[in-house]
Structure 1
Amino acid sequence: MKHVDCYLDFISPYAYLAFEQLPQALQGLSYEMTYRPVLFAGLLKHHGQLGPAEIATKRDWTYRQVSWLAARNGIELAVPAAHPFNPLALLRLAWACARHGAPNRYVVETIFRHVWRGGQAADAPARLADLTATLAPALDPAGDEVKQALRAATEQALAAGVFGVPSFVLDGRVFWGFDALPMLRAQLAGGAEGAALDAAWTAPDGVAVGIKR
């Protein structure tokens, strides 16, 4: 059985959409999925990038597109009352609930839906308190062990070549974004789908960088 590492941050609507779509996208295939919450801002800083919500026109486009994608795919979604927000409390809560080395799908689902359903403020103190009580973390979300787990996951993502969320790492390949789910399926399925993906994977080979800014 193949193993997939899913790197995500609850701040990302595309990560939410991909998470909700995964069971359908990979239906009928045998795989093991490990969910690894990471700090998206840490990835952006490492690569010298701005987040989508830090560019005004791109921010507006993002909310339009994810709302359309959600409706098209039958996924419930309501943009939070304020976005972007600081996701650290949610990321640490997920790691505080980790069992066997990573948070399970129930924990990740509960936090994602806290953010992306209902249209409320994701970081409102009262809501965070209720969410924490619901998940009943085994560790203190503000403790050093949890903080280190989040840092380690983010460093692991960077070491694997991850540059954005959601990213799925399988067989040493990084599949980025909601729209990469069919490619992830092809990698898992093999056969003719896998062969077509192998051919596409070599597309960057031999392409020189024409100009740098």
Structure 2
Amino acid sequence: MHHITMYLDFVSPYAWLAFQQLPQTLAGVSYRVEYRPVLLAALLQQHGNPGPVGIPAKRAWTYRHATWLGQQMGIPLQTPAAHPFNPLPLLRLALQTSTDGSTNRFVTETIFRHVWEGGNDAISTARLQQLQAQLQAQLPPTPEAVEQAKLWLRSNTEKASELGLFGVPAFEVKGQIFWGLDSLPMLRDFLSGSPWFQSEAWENANTISSGLA
């Protein structure tokens, strides 16, 4: 059985689409997924990347593209009333349910749906309270869970940074990284044992010289 770690941030529409599409793409493959919330903004900042919503024209395109992909894939996706937004309350709430820095599929999906279905404000006080009520059975009664969630978020993001992750969704398996919704077919090919992943095209990608000073 393959062990896949999915790094995600609820602010990303592509992470939501990949989360929903992954079981279909990997149908027939023996695997288990570990979901690790990270702070996307920290990864982008590390690489000096404004992200797709940091460029006005690309921001509008991203919303159009993600919404179109959703209807093509049969996955509900309505852009929240305000985007981007500060995802920290959602990331920390997710990790309050955790015992090891990962979140289960129910918690992960519940929060993704909270953000990407209905076109509402993802972090309004009233909706955050409703979301917490939805997850109440998953939340431990101890106040320490709040501080522990902050530590796990920092740890997850640092680990993602160490792996060289520059965005989400990203999938780590057998020491290899696959980035983006469109990498899912590639991930399946890798898990299916394709010999291409032992070829020079894969192995030598890091050795290609840049032609820019």
TM-score range, shorter chain: over 0.9
- List aligned pairs for 1:159-198, cutoff 5 A: 159-190=162-193, 194-198=194-198
- List aligned pairs for 1:1-213, cutoff 5 A: 1-99=1-99, 101-136=101-136, 137-138=139-140, 140=143, 143-190=146-193, 194-199=194-199, 200-202=201-203, 204-212=205-213
2 CA distance for matches of 1:74 and 1:92?
A: 29
* C-alpha deviation, 1:19, in angstroms: 0.3
2 CA distance for matches of 1:188 and 1:47?
A: 29
- Greater displacement, 118-127 / 135-144: 135-144
Report how many aligned residue pairs link the two structures: 209
1:186 alignment partner AA: D
Deviations along 1:163-192, whole A, 9 cap, x unmatched? 1100000111110000000011111111xx
Judging changes above 3 Å, is the alpha-carbon distance between structure 1 residues 141 and 187 closer, same or farther for their aligned structure 2 residues?
farther
Deviations along 1:105-132, whole A, 9 cap, x unmatched? 0000000000000000101110000101
Deviations along 1:114-167, whole A, 9 cap, x unmatched? 000000010111000010111012255983211000000000111112111000
2 CA distance for matches of 1:124 and 1:147?
A: 20
- Match of 2:205, SS state, is coil
Q: What's the C-alpha RMSD, in Å, of the aligned pairs?
A: 1.6
2 CA distance for matches of 1:154 and 1:80?
A: 24
- Match of 2:46, SS state, is helix
2:191 alignment partner AA: L
- Match of 1:29, SS state, is coil
2 CA distance for matches of 1:16 and 1:206?
A: 33
- Match of 1:143, SS state, is helix
* C-alpha deviation, 1:100, in angstroms: 5.0
2 CA distance for matches of 1:114 and 1:8?
A: 15
Judging changes above 3 Å, is the alpha-carbon distance between structure 1 residues 69 and 197 closer, same or farther for their aligned structure 2 residues?
farther
What TM-score do the two structures reach when normalised by structure 1?
0.93
- Match of 2:36, SS state, is strand
Contact (CA 8 Å) 1:140, 1:146: kept in 2 or not? no
Identity %: 52
- Greater displacement, 44-53 / 77-86: 44-53
Contact (CA 8 Å) 1:89, 1:141: kept in 2 or not? no
* C-alpha deviation, 1:104, in angstroms: 0.1
2 CA distance for matches of 1:140 and 1:92?
A: 13
2 CA distance for matches of 1:122 and 1:25?
A: 28
